[in-house]
Amino acid sequence: MIETLLEVSNLTVKTGKFSLKNISFDLKAEEYLIVLGPTGSGKTILLETLAGLRTLQDGKILLMDQNITHLPPEQRNFGFAYQDSLLYPFLTVKDNILFGAKARGVAGETKIQKRMRQLVEIMNISHLIERYPRNLSGGEKQRVSLARAILTQPSLLLLDEPLSALDPATRQLMKNLLREIHNTERLGIIHVTHDFSEAIQMGTKIIVLNNGSIEQSGAPLDIFFRPASLSLAQFLQGENLIGGTLISQNNQTWFKPSNNEPMLGPLNDSSVNGLEKHKPVVMMIRSGNLFLHRQYDSSQEFISWSAEINHLSFDRTHVDVFCKGNGSWQTSLSLSQWLNLELSEGDLVKLSVKPENCHFISC
């Protein structure tokens, strides 16, 4: 049975000049919700409101059908791990971790101690438990803060940038741990980040905040490939963003770039649905959806054109290939695909894209 853990409707929160406006979403027990957004978009304020730390002007919060909108924080049974960890400076790491669980009386002393030892082991902080917070690095503090939140056995875990201060190896470890906790304990998680790679790796659902409002919500890949606005496409580092208009030709829709490059099409009806012809749009083609070949792909399924390889940028697993021809294009290949093609800068190539992978945003 799909169980709704949290239901948030029309939350409005004013703080100084900033407002969270009409925030509505729900969270099923099996979902891992990511709140994504640029700095200052209201992510922390949303978490703090859910935790009962902010006064709301309007709206309702239901936790398993129980109205908790006006409950004080200590009665909500939420775990909160902060970006800046907020540990008690006068308590050791061990006592910091135990503090919440003991205060809430979540289990007997022996059980809490046992679970604490398991958690610090998994989080690789067992050697730190007698230290005081002032003697920890930022990443160590974050792990302590997370262990403290998990140990309280909350019904919902609120995580504010929980991985931001960790090195890549520890970050991966913590991602695995969070996934495991989420899956095995069916613990609801709301995880705030401004890092889309983190969002796509961890989330089963994303809400994107922009200037205090939900700009888009849905499955991570849907948001990645089909952002609803130009600002979101830019925030998600959308590649091949080109301004232009849609026009009709022989009963088909084509894209006419505003830079006087040749038209691109015919397009797929579903990708231009609801968009008006001759009105400004931006086309986005994700670099992974733009294919590079030595020769034309004769398949009718693709829109293809010629280009020249202009510039290459390698990383550990991929190469970004920048091409010029009917405009400037960026495509991305795995290193093995690239090596198989035996190409280099200056070579002539063919680019192709499936019409349904041309995403259009009205401006």
Residue type, 210: N
User: From the CA atom positions of the chain, what is the Rg in Å?
Assistant: 25
Q: Give the residue with the Cβ less far from ligand ATP, 146 or 358.
A: 146
Q: Give the residue with the Cβ less far from ligand ATP, 54 or 102.
A: 54
Secondary structure element (H or E) that encloses residue 84, with its range: none
Q: Which position's Cβ is nearest ligand ATP?
A: 16
Among residues 199, 201, 203, the alpha carbon closest in space to that of 189 is found at 203
Among residues 157, 216, 227, the alpha carbon closest in space to that of 192 is found at 157
Q: How far is the CB of 39 from ligand ATP (least distance, A)?
A: 3
The answer to the question of residue 37 lying near ligand ATP (CB under 6 A) is yes
The answer to the question of residue 40 lying near ligand ATP (CB under 6 A) is yes
* CB neighbourhood size of 167 (10 A): 10
The answer to the question of residue 346 lying near ligand ATP (CB under 6 A) is no
Given the structure tokens 């003697």, which residue do they identify?
Answer: 135
The answer to the question of residue 139 lying near ligand ATP (CB under 6 A) is no
* 159 phi and psi angles, rounded to 5 deg: -120, 120
Beta-carbon contacts of 240 under 8 Å, excluding residues fewer than 6 positions away, are 283, 284, 285, 286, 287, 290, 329, 330
**Tokens found for residue 166:** 């960790």
Binding to ligand ATP in span 181-220, by CB under 6 A: 194
Q: Give the residue with the Cβ less far from ligand ATP, 162 or 325.
A: 162
Helix axes 93-104, 109-122, angle to 10 degrees: 140
d(CA 120, CA 28): 28
Among residues 171, 187, 174, 158, the alpha carbon closest in space to that of 34 is found at 158
Tell me which of 44, 142, 210, 240 binds ligand ATP, using CB under 6 A.
44
Which of the stretches 15-23, 24-32, 94-102, 322-330 binds ligand ATP when contact is defined by CB under 6 A?
Answer: 15-23
Which of the stretches 38-46, 141-149, 281-289, 314-322 binds ligand ATP when contact is defined by CB under 6 A?
Answer: 38-46
The answer to the question of residue 41 lying near ligand ATP (CB under 6 A) is yes
The answer to the question of residue 14 lying near ligand ATP (CB under 6 A) is no
The answer to the question of residue 43 lying near ligand ATP (CB under 6 A) is yes
Q: How far is the CB of 207 from ligand ATP (least distance, A)?
A: 12
The residue count for binding ligand ATP (CB under 6 A) is 12
Max Cα-Cα span within the chain: 76
Residues forming the site for ligand ATP (CB under 6 A): 15-16, 18, 37, 39-45, 194
